[in-house]
A and B are shown apart, each in its own frame.
Chain A
């Protein structure tokens, strides 16, 4: 779904925010294209503050533009184009899902008949069937999360802010919610900013990431780049059984083998022409079954920890 000349998703220029003496945001300068972006950072890094800035709810120094709107001057117009799915419970007691979505749509500026139509369409999209006519007070966690997503989508936002969308869901619920979120950009053409501690979720849904630490941007770019180990000949291997045996055999052939994350981390000698073949051959010779072999990339979690530690050391220096 292409729209003519998409403006950049947001542009921040040297944003500072102070709460008394606490310097929450220190010179944030960011530029991001439309797409799915993860917003990551330890607790207290400034994620919530940045989200508030993006919603036009805070005064700050510097300039910020989201979806082409100036955040200070056009805050209300901006909020009509942004959907927010908060982390904690968000509903009005005594209403059912349909009423909530209609109310939400009307508050965002849709006339009543359109609000009714869209509410039903969006609730269908989010997978709430007949349950939508019952009061939200009685919903399970998974259903409440779906309603939260629906109320964020009902006014067709161009940008969706998601705050821990899989909170409290059991594994199947998490899977379904993530699949739903993954399908959004193609279906609706909206951009997504996902703030979550569950880096697996972020990896699944987003292609880019912004990493904040103590009010500063530590990384802004693709997740692919963030995860690059930097070492070309490192491979992760898992065998059905016989880890120790394989380790010894590979070391005998000149590899360096460590154990990490339940798998073997193998560094083949630099001169090896076909590293994967080497590993397979050694395993076959020992009668071991290779169940997993791939170039080692950092998990997003390790990359995150590394980036933050680098920033800490950089700051301390």
Chain B
């Protein structure tokens, strides 16, 4: 007993101060292939913080709701044999001015306008490329959020409509036709999301000013639409619409949804529209790649 006490008494007082500062890193590293997800995730988070996103998401509900009500009424009347099939409503939702096309355009404008321009202005290229991040990973991370958002904003309401229509089918045959609608919706949605999302990001890589990019994109989309409509009306030929993205989307939509053209509507052959849209997307990607190569990482 006393020996233990003596031991305790004889023990030296002990204390330690812990090193609080910088420590070397000895942990593991994540695999390189998945880095684009980081960029994508971060960009999506940052875009989602901006107020206009909420505005667009809310706005896109209205055409959907209105269209839903109209579709409901029309479906009932169709079932009663008193009105034509409400099939085309989904198509109209995509492409008419009162539908989601403008909303989709605005979403692309806000989500994509600053995508690369903001990075150029704030000097983010050294931040990314002095690290183990490839230009491709960066590109994917920057392209996917605007495309995804445009897709959601246009396909969301349309999908609701398509499903509602399918649910309101009057009989088996009608249901079979109606069930194709969701797939057609996704089809046109993809085309529209690409046709709007990719060019705006490509434009974003050409300037440091987000406002310039947005102005240019607006001009690219709206001017040919307006001028094309005017001249098509005047000349009664569909070719003035050759530069109008909206006209081409309309064309492709007509084809996918098998909706016949209206009386005085003049349209280019579908393959022309498909070719122009493909050229637009591919050309934008090429431009993007070239611009990224030339971005300075080191130097003032």
Contact = CB atoms under 8 A, between A and B. Distances in A.
B265 to A, nearest CB: 44
B84 to A, nearest CB: 49
Contacts of B121: 93
A86 interface: yes
Nearest to A125: B22
A80 interface: yes
A77 B42 CA distance: 23
B2 interface: no
Interface residues of A, number: 44
Contact of B22 (A89, A111, A187): A187
B300 interface: yes
Contact of B25 (A79, A89, A92, A110): A110
A86 B22 contact: no
A77 B132 contact: yes
A88 B118 CA distance: 15
A83 B118 CA distance: 23
Contacts of B21: 121, 125, 187
B132 A93 contact: no
Contact of B123 (A57, A89, A155): A89
Given A86-B126, A156-B24, A103 B131 contact: no
A94 B49 contact: yes
B122 interface: yes
Nearest to B133: A107
Interface string B95-125: 0000000000000000000000011011110
Given A79-B130, A109-B30, A92 B124 contact: yes
Interface stretch (A48-56, A229-237, A247-255, A284-292): A48-56
Interface size class of B (residues with CB under 8 A): 35 or more
Given A48-B299, A51-B298, A79-B131, A107 B35 contact: yes
Nearest to A78: B132
A57 B129 contact: yes
Contact of A156 (B25, B39, B49, B133): B25
A91 B122 contact: yes
Contacts of B297: 52, 55, 57, 86
Contacts of B27: 110-111, 114
Contacts of B29: 80, 109-111
A57 B35 CA distance: 18
Interface string B13-47: 00000000111110111101001001100100010
15 contacts: A76-B32, A86-B127, A90-B123, A91-B127, A93-B118, A93-B121, A103-B38, A103-B42, A110-B27, A110-B30, A118-B25, A121-B22, A155-B131, A156-B24, A188-B24
Interface of A: 48, 51-52, 55, 57, 76-77, 79-80, 82-84, 86-95, 103-104, 106-111, 114, 118, 121-122, 125, 151, 153, 155-156, 161, 163, 187-189
